[in-house]
Amino acid sequence: MDVHITRSDLRGAARAPPSKSYTHRALLAAGYSDGATVESPLISADTRATARAVAAFGGSVAPARGQAESTSEADGDFAGADALAVEGFGGRPAVPDDVIDCANSGTTMRLVTAAAALADGTTVLTGDGSLRSRPQGPLLDALDELGVRAESTRANGQAPLVVAGPLAGGEVAIPGDVSSQYVTALLMAGAVTDEGVEVELTTDLKSAPYVDITLELLADFGVEATPIDAAGDPLDGAAGAAGFSVPGGQTYEPAGGSYAVPGDFSSISYLLGAGAVAAVPGETVRIEGARPSAQGDAAIVEIVEEMGAPVDWDREAGEIAVERADLSGVTVDVGDTPDLLPTIAVLGAVANGETRIENCEHVRYKETDRVAAMAEELEKLGAETTEEPDVLTVHGGESDLEGATVDGRHDHRIVMALSVAALAAEGTTTVRGAEHVDVSFPGFFDAMADLGMDVERDGAIE
């Protein structure tokens, strides 16, 4: 699907979708349990993949009792459900009857690969073309070190994957600078092993806030996992950790049998950025569902403020108000917040001066190479950029955005970021592949249209 966006002014309120990161972890944690309810989940293409994996391991995921009859349990769609009842597999996944298709969800594949290692038999995992090009080798090596057969069918560290357990636990070393999801996968699975798992990081940990999300959620499910320093002493958070320790024999059991998913700050970044570049002068764009959590992407609030936009975050109410402003370039390290790069790049294209996005090489290994994608697509709109292996510089003072046809690269975050850029570009911008917002923010264009975006989809003006 293509969308055609004409420069627009925005006003009003939009609600952030639930967090994709938390929903993935909550669904799998509920699968590891004897059963739990996941409240306010994100229902998207990626999280449906995780729900299907839970079912493949012998659990089930269905709309909680009392949900609308329009929801579909059979195909794992659950559209309209605001709570999901998960029947778990009690920490012992069954061997799946069929291949597990993770579609385009890297989080699903990595978390589920470790879960598959617990099964007493062989599991095969695959995904779409994009997912089959993403690195899984360090996690496979770690599982192999723990005594599990874990292989890439093409011997290139990429899916399809074959995993044969069961995993008993043990000590393992793994790099921390490729994907924090490897650590999350080992911690979640390690808690239900017989021996527990001790993880040693062989490189500094990037995207540490995503591991903090995992630690927070595990605690909410009654599971102990501890980041440790080089001396083996416990730390308060994942940042600076030399490793992690998770005892075995634990039980996943959330208080009261349910877990509520918080709002998603990765998605909030697009709404916040849109308000900063396109709010009606003198008015605000308000974002609901922004309660504090362990999400590192909450850093977008401070970044937008530093660029010069007035932002008021009522943390107790979970509401952010942002005003339009003349923005100025900044320098941002995205080592811990890789998903913010597309939004920051767009803001940099609108801002005066240079915006330098540093420590971003790992952002090249997402659904697409997001560093190159943002540089190339913003240049189509008239932005000037300089791309280095680990740095993206956007020369806002030399940029004059004009409508053009840009490619979303089959990547939800590229699509949404370019749609924000279109709000500040003269004329009309066509964004190709806009349907991919379904991965994390299915209602994105509805929300933007409600705020005042002039957007045409499939010939209908919203």
Does the pTM surpass 0.75? The reply is yes
Known binding residue 380? Answer is no
Is a pLDDT exceeding 80 seen at residue 77? no
Mean pLDDT of 129-148: 96
The 10s digit of each residue's pLDDT in 89-109 is 999 999 999 999 999 999 999
Number of neighbours of residue 95 by Cβ within 10 angstroms = 15
Q: Which residue has the higher pLDDT, 79 or 430?
A: 430
What pLDDT is recorded for position 136? 96
Mean pLDDT of 349-354: 97
What pLDDT is recorded for position 458? 79
When pLDDT is cut at 50, 70 and 90, the band that residue 73 belongs to is very low
Mean pLDDT of 207-229: 97
When pLDDT is cut at 50, 70 and 90, the band that residue 81 belongs to is confident
Is a pLDDT exceeding 80 seen at residue 72? no
Is a pLDDT exceeding 80 seen at residue 79? no
- Mean pLDDT score across all residues of the chain: 94
Mean pLDDT of 17-35: 96
The 10s digit of each residue's pLDDT in 418-453 is 999 999 999 999 999 999 999 889 899 999 999 999
Known binding residue 106? Answer is yes
What pLDDT is recorded for position 295? 93
Known binding residue 110? Answer is no
Per-residue exposure over 120-145, b if at least 16 CB sit within 10 Å of its own CB, e if not: eeebbbbbeebbbebbbbbbbbbbee
Known binding residue 413? Answer is yes
When pLDDT is cut at 50, 70 and 90, the band that residue 80 belongs to is confident
What pLDDT is recorded for position 460? 45
Fold matches, 3-17+263-461 and 20-242: yes
Q: 3-17+263-461 falls under which CATH superfamily?
A: Enolpyruvate transferase domain (3.65.10.10)
Q: What residue ranges do the domains of the chain occupy?
A: 3-17+263-461, 20-242
Mean pLDDT of 44-67: 91
The 10s digit of each residue's pLDDT in 297-311 is 999 999 999 999 999
Percent of the chain predicted with pLDDT > 90 = 92
Distance of CA 319 to the CA centre of its chain: 21
Known binding residue 433? Answer is no
Mean pLDDT of 334-362: 97
What pLDDT is recorded for position 74? 39
Mean pLDDT of 6-35: 96
The 10s digit of each residue's pLDDT in 373-391 is 999 999 999 999 999 999 9
What pLDDT is recorded for position 154? 97
Least confident of 62-66, 181-185, 262-266, 417-421: 62-66
Of the candidates 190, 179, 197, the one whose C-alpha atom is nearest the C-alpha of residue 243 is 197
Known binding residue 356? Answer is no
Strands of the sheet with 391-395, listed across from one edge: 331-333, 354-358, 391-395, 385-388
What pLDDT is recorded for position 116? 98
Extract the tokens encoding 169. 């636990």
Known binding residue 206? Answer is no
Known binding residue 11? Answer is no
The 10s digit of each residue's pLDDT in 109-127 is 999 999 999 999 999 999 9
Tokens 């956007």, residue located: 394
Distance of alpha carbon 376 from alpha carbon 339, whole angstroms? 18
Give the residue numbers marked as catalytic: 339
Mean pLDDT of 265-285: 97
What pLDDT is recorded for position 441? 94
CATH of 20-242, one of 3.40.50.1100, 3.65.10.10, 3.40.109.10, 3.40.50.300: 3.65.10.10
Known binding residue 339? Answer is yes
What pLDDT is recorded for position 67? 52
Known binding residue 369? Answer is no
Known binding residue 48? Answer is no
